[in-house]
Chains A and B, each alone.
Chain A
Amino acid sequence: MKRMNLVLLLIIGTCIAWVKTGEWWIATHPVKLTVPKGWPTPAYDFQENPLTREGIALGKQLFYDPILSKDGTISCGSCHQSFAGFATYDHPLSHGINNGFTNRNAPGIVNMAWQKNFMLDGGILHLDLQPLAPITAENEMGETISGVLEKLNKDATYRKKFQVAFGVKTISTAELGKALSQFVLSLVSYNSKYDRVMRGEARFILPEQLGYEIFQKKCVTCHPPPFFTDFSFRNAGLAADETLQDKGRMTISGKKEDSLAFRVPSLRNVALSFPYGHDGRFATLQNVFEHYRNSRPRPAGTDPMLQNGIVLSNFEIGQLTAFLHTLTDSTIVNNPAFLPEEQNRRQKQERDIHRNKGD
């Protein structure tokens, strides 16, 4: 019996020794990023941050957790809304803490694995670094990095999840960035009607087909597929808002010629992501078309491509609108995989109400 105790003690001792070194032998489950056929190689370095089921789930929890903001009111998902293709729905300027406005209309964040720099001014050069900007901006989440880390490290559930996903005992900025990246990287939008037509799985109806042809002639230079942006920064001839005084790319590059240049937005899920423009000044697609076809002289510095506007008839605008609606990806929008778990549970319960008792 004594010897049994000794053995037991040794087993416990061994366990403690393993735990102390932080080498939890809990296996994570690798996830492979979907790279749609014909798309380029992703720009993100997955070797530095291999996708795992645990990492993506943790990233999703953080994405929807207002713990990242100073007063616990704003999460990433507050402005990057699933039902708007992960852009801001119906609000010209995205909202921040203290009932405030941010400086811009948050863009959709699908297909980020292929993007090399981030923000409408391209100021951020690594996806992992991207969340630090909204977290620390005074008019967005208003927190400090150390403040967020302190809150997360106090939370036993988060500590455990970070340990499982990244093997760390203490959460640092690096793991926070990596976890959020993992979730965002998993948002690959490639199942819109347009994609299915290109894969030969569906057919455009006539207005969509005509719109597609007009798009190829008049829009595709700045909005080439598969991302429907060339990722460049261009001055679309919009005068700066007097209050915001947002100079766009010039803020980053310090170059005069970059004044009022903003990133060409992706048109994926564009039908859902209104309003439009970097400050959301255009309420509808119609407003955007009107801006581009307006033939009045453009301000100095406007992109040469847009200097004289784009000739568009009412008929063409109708067909283009039909085509742009084919870029809506219903597998991204309101997909439970990309929604907060809490919301998924709630929706499940709600559905149960309508079931027959015998079900």
Chain B
Amino acid sequence: MRFAGTIFVLNLLLLPPMMGFKKQDAAHALHIVVQPICGNRPFSFDSSFVNAMGETFQVSKCLFYLSNFSVTYTDGKKEKIPASYFLIDLSDSRSCKIQLPVQNKKIQSIHFLLGIDSATNVRGIQKGVLDPARGMFWTWNTGYVMAKMEGTSTASNMPGKKFSYHIGGYAGDQNVVKSIELFLTGVKEIKKEQPIVLLADVLHWFNGPSNLSIAQQPNCHSPGELAQRIAENYQSMFSIQTTPNP
């Protein structure tokens, strides 16, 4: 009997470690998948494209942060999704899948930042996708690289015909964080578990309010005017796919 008691107590000791493995209740979720395109063509790292300046380019790397998601339901209520930070790496399809815990109601629009809010930039060293070890952080001038594109172009006069755009800056007139709202109107009834397709048109990095010339500006590695110009361009890269893939 005494042993039975001991075993019971010992089993209680086992409980707390086990509780860590308890699965959270699977709430209703909104699934988003980022699908890169380039102009009216599907995007691929193996293909070359032409920008508005007539420059042929090929992308080798393209990453960007999407953060601070919120959704507006058709009843007008807005809901912030806490701790929603995603690092989208176009070379890693797993990173292109976003899952947001939402209520089981019809959604009118989604809202997010293209970049990282200023408070998180200065909060010290973060973990997960915000870990500076992910290579999306400037160590010499505190702040995240909000979006990064690297590649080659025959127009580039840099060694290896390379171009490299690291876009960052969050304070005052250096701010490149873009607030984006996309309406789901026109999207066919979202079936459960079927993701919304968020089209990301990389051509918008070059083409926009002020067309970017790789020949003239092959590099951008610090906050400032050029970073802002590029961010002005790429902020319109997103749209919601209304017709499903053939």
Contact = CB atoms under 8 A, between A and B. Distances in A.
A146 B16 CA distance: 33
B180 interface: no
B122 A126 contact: yes
A17 interface: yes
B24 interface: no
Interface of A: 3, 6-7, 10-11, 13-14, 17-18, 20-21, 23, 45, 48, 119, 123-126, 128-129, 132-133, 135-137, 145-146, 149, 172-174, 176-178, 251-252, 254
A124 B140 contact: yes
Contacts of B16: 21, 23
B125 A128 contact: yes
B13 interface: yes
B18 A17 contact: yes
Contacts of A45: 124
A126 B174 CA distance: 19
A3 B1 CA distance: 11
Contacts of B40: none
B21 to A, nearest CB: 9
Given A14-B10, A124-B140, A251-B141, 6 more contacts: A3-B3, A7-B6, A126-B142, A128-B125, A129-B132, A146-B133
Interface in B146-193: 174
A300 B125 CA distance: 39
Interface of B: 3, 6-7, 10-11, 13-14, 16-18, 20, 121-127, 131-133, 135, 137, 139-142, 174, 222-224
A144 to B, nearest CB: 8
* A interface: dominant SS: helix
A145 B142 contact: no
Nearest to A49: B124
Nearest to A23: B17
Contact of A174 (B7, B126, B135, B174): B126
A239 to B, nearest CB: 23
A21 B14 contact: no
A6 B142 CA distance: 56
A145 B140 CA distance: 13
Nearest to A136: B139
Contact of B122 (A10, A13, A125): A125
Contacts of B124: 45, 48, 126, 128-129, 174, 177
A129 B127 contact: no
B12 to A, nearest CB: 10
A149 B133 CA distance: 9
B224 A126 contact: no
A117 B3 CA distance: 61
Contacts of A6: 3, 7
Nearest to B6: A7
Nearest to B138: A123
Contacts of A10: 7, 10-11
Contacts of A132: 125, 132, 137, 139
B14 A14 contact: yes
Contacts of A18: 17
**Chain A CB within 10 A, most for which of B11, B122, B142:** B142
A178 B126 CA distance: 11
Nearest to A127: B124
Contact of B131 (A23, A137, A172, A251): A172
17 contacts: A7-B3, A7-B6, A11-B10, A14-B13, A20-B17, A45-B124, A126-B124, A129-B132, A129-B139, A129-B142, A132-B125, A133-B140, A137-B140, A145-B135, A146-B133, A173-B131, A174-B125
